[in-house]
Structure 1
Amino acid sequence: MYLEARARAALRGALSALGVPSPGQIPIDRPPRPELGDLSTRLAYLLTKETGAPPQEVAQALAEELSKHPDLEDVRAEQGFVNLRFRPQALWEALRVILRQGEAYGRQDLGKGRKLQVEFVSSNPTGPLTVGHGRQAALGDVLAELFSQLGWEVTREYYLNDEGRQIDLLAQSLWARYRQALGEDQPLPEGGYQGDYLIPIGEELARSWGDRYPNWNEEAQGVFRKQAVDRMMRMIKEDLAAFGVRFDVWTREGDLHRRGLVRETLKELQRRGAVYEKDGALWMRSREHGLARDPVLVRSDGSPTYLMVDIAYHVDKYRRGFVRVVDVQGADHAEEQKQVKLALRILGLPEGFLDYCVHQFVTLRGREGVERMSTRAGHFIRLGDLIRELGRDVVRYFMVMRKPESHLTFDYELAKKTSMDNPVYYVQYAHTRIASIFREAEKSGEFLPPHASHVTEVDLSPLTDPAELALIKELDRFPDVLAQAAGFAPHLLCEYLEGLAAVFHPYYTRVRVLGQGRATPARLALLAGVRLVLRRGLSILGVSAPEEM
Structure 2
Amino acid sequence: MNLKAGLLEALKKAVEKSGIVDEVPEIKIETPKDKANGDFSSNVAMTLTKQARKNPRDIASAIVENLDHSAANVKSVDIAGPGFINFYMDESSVTQIVPQVLELGEAYGRSNPDGKQKVLVEFVSANPTGDLHIGHARNASVGDTLSNILDFAGYDVEREYYINDAGNQIDNLALSIDARYLEALGQELIMPEDGYMGKDIKAIGEKLAEENPELIETTKEDRIQMFRKLGVDYEMEKLRKDLADFNVHFDNWFSETSLYENKEVEAALRVMTGNGYTYEAEGALWLRTTDFSDDKDRVLRKSDGSYTYLMPDVAYHYDKVERGYDKLINIFGADHHGYINRLKGSLGALGKDPEMLEIKIMQMVRLIENGEEVKMSKRTGKAVTLRELIDTIGVDACRYFLAMRSSDSHLDFDMDLAKSESNDNPVYYAQYAHARICSILRQAEEKGHEVAGDADVSIIDHEQALDLIKKMAAFPNVIKGAAEHRATHRVTTYIQELASTFHKFYNAEKVLGEDDHKTRAYLLMIEAVRQTLQNALNLVGVSAPEKM
Report the TM-score range of the alignment, normalised by the length of the smaller protein.
over 0.9
Shift of residue 43, structure 1, vs aligned partner: 2.2
In the alignment, the residues of structure 2 paired with residue 526 and residue 289 of structure 1 have an alpha-carbon distance, to the nearest angstrom, of 54
Q: Distance in 2 between matches of 1:183 and 1:296?
A: 44
1:451 — aligned with what? none
Pick one of 113, 117, 127 that aligns with 1:114.
Answer: 117
Q: Which of 74, 77, 99 is residue 75 of structure 1 equivalent to?
A: 77
Do the aligned partners of 1:362 and 1:408 also contact (CA within 8 Å) in 2? Answer: yes
The alignment yields a C-alpha RMSD, in angstroms, of: 2.3
Cα pair 2:366 2:373 within 8 Å, conserved: no
Is contact 1:142-1:490 (8 Å) kept? yes
Q: Out of 270-279 and 9-18, give the one that drifted further.
A: 9-18
Report matched runs for 1:474-493 at 5 Å.
Answer: 474-486=471-483, 487-493=485-491
8 Å Cα contact 1:119-1:157 kept in structure 2: yes
Q: Which residue of 1 aligns with 2:375?
A: 371
**Identity in percent:** 40
Partner amino acid, structure 2, of 1:60: S
Q: Is the 8 A contact 1:15 1:22 kept in 2?
A: no
1:35 alignment partner AA:
A
Deviates more, 1:159-168 or 1:42-51: 42-51
Partner of residue 124, structure 1: 127
Equivalent residue, structure 2, for 1:255 = 258
Distance in 1 (alpha carbons) for counterparts of 2:288 and 2:469: 56
Please tell me whether residue 105 in structure 1 is matched to residue 104 in structure 2: no
Q: Give the conservation status (yes or no) of the 8 Å contact 1:66–1:72.
A: no
Superposition deviation, residue 96 in structure 1: 3.1
Distance in 1 of aligned mates of 2:172 and 2:52? 71
Shift of 1:14: 4.0
In the alignment, what sits opposite 2:441? 438
1:447/1:520 contact within 8 Å kept: no
Residues 1:23 and 2:24 are matched in the alignment:
yes
Q: Which of 411-420 and 428-437 deviates more?
A: 411-420
Matched, 1:169 2:172: yes
Q: Distance in 1 between matches of 2:224 and 2:15?
A: 75
TM-score w.r.t. length of structure 1? 0.93
Distance 1:458 1:403 in 2: 41
**Deviation at residue 18 of structure 1 after TM alignment:** 4.2
Stretches of structure 1 lacking an aligned partner (at least 5 in a row): 449-453
- Which runs of 5 or more structure 2 residues have no equivalent in the other structure? none
* Residue equivalent to 2:497: 499
Tell me, in whole angstroms, the C-alpha distance in 1 between the residues paired with 2:101 and 2:442: 22
Question: Does structure 1 retain, via aligned residues, the 8 Å contact 2:344–2:355?
Answer: no
1:173 Cα deviation (Å)? 0.9
1:208-219 alignment to 2 at 5 Å? Answer: 208-210=211-213, 212-213=215-216, 217-219=220-222
CA drift at 1:111: 7.4
Q: Which residue of 2 aligns with 1:328?
A: 331
Q: How many angstroms apart in 1 are the aligned matches of 2:114 and 2:192?
A: 50
> Secondary structure at 1:528's aligned position in 2?
helix
Does the CA-based 8 Å contact 1:107-1:151 persist in structure 2?
A: yes
Amino acid at match of 1:489: A
Q: 1:9 to 1:118 in 2, by over 3 A?
A: closer
SS of 1:365's equivalent? strand
Q: Does the 8 Å contact 2:135/2:364 carry over to 1?
A: yes
1:378 shift after superposition: 8.1
Question: C-alpha distance in 1, partners of 2:236/2:212?
Answer: 21
TM-score, with structure 2 as normaliser:
0.93
Instruction: Check conservation: 1:387, 1:395, Cα contact below 8 A.
Output: yes
Q: C-alpha distance in 2, partners of 1:353/1:378? A: 42
Q: CA deviation at 1:119?
A: 0.7
> Which of 390, 394, 398 is 2:397 aligned to?
394
Deviates more, 1:457-466 or 1:119-128: 457-466
Whichever residue aligns with residue 371 of structure 1, its letter is K
Residues 307 and 336 in structure 1, CA contact (< 8 A), matched pair in contact too: no
The whole-number CA distance in structure 1 between the counterparts of 2:153 and 2:237 is 33
Q: 1:190 to 1:3 in 2, by over 3 A?
A: same
Does the 8 Å CA contact 2:430/2:499 hold for their aligned counterparts?
yes
Aligned to 1:53: 54
Equivalent residue, structure 2, for 1:520: 519
Separation in 1 of the partners of 2:35 and 2:108?
24
- For 2:16 and 2:356, the matched residues in 1 are separated by 39
Q: Distance in 2 between matches of 1:22 and 1:83?
A: 23
Q: Which amino acid aligns with 2:536?
A: G
1:277-426, aligned counterparts within 5 Å? 277-366=280-369, 371=375, 379-426=382-429
Q: Judging changes above 3 Å, is the alpha-carbon distance between structure 1 residues 440 and 277 closer, same or farther for their aligned structure 2 residues? A: same
- Superposed CA deviations along residues 177-215 of structure 1, whole A, max 9, x for unmatched, are 222223332121111111222122222112111253268
Aligned counterpart, 1:5: 5
Kindly state the Cα deviation for residue 483 of structure 1 after the two structures are TM-superposed: 1.7
> What's 2:463 paired with?
466
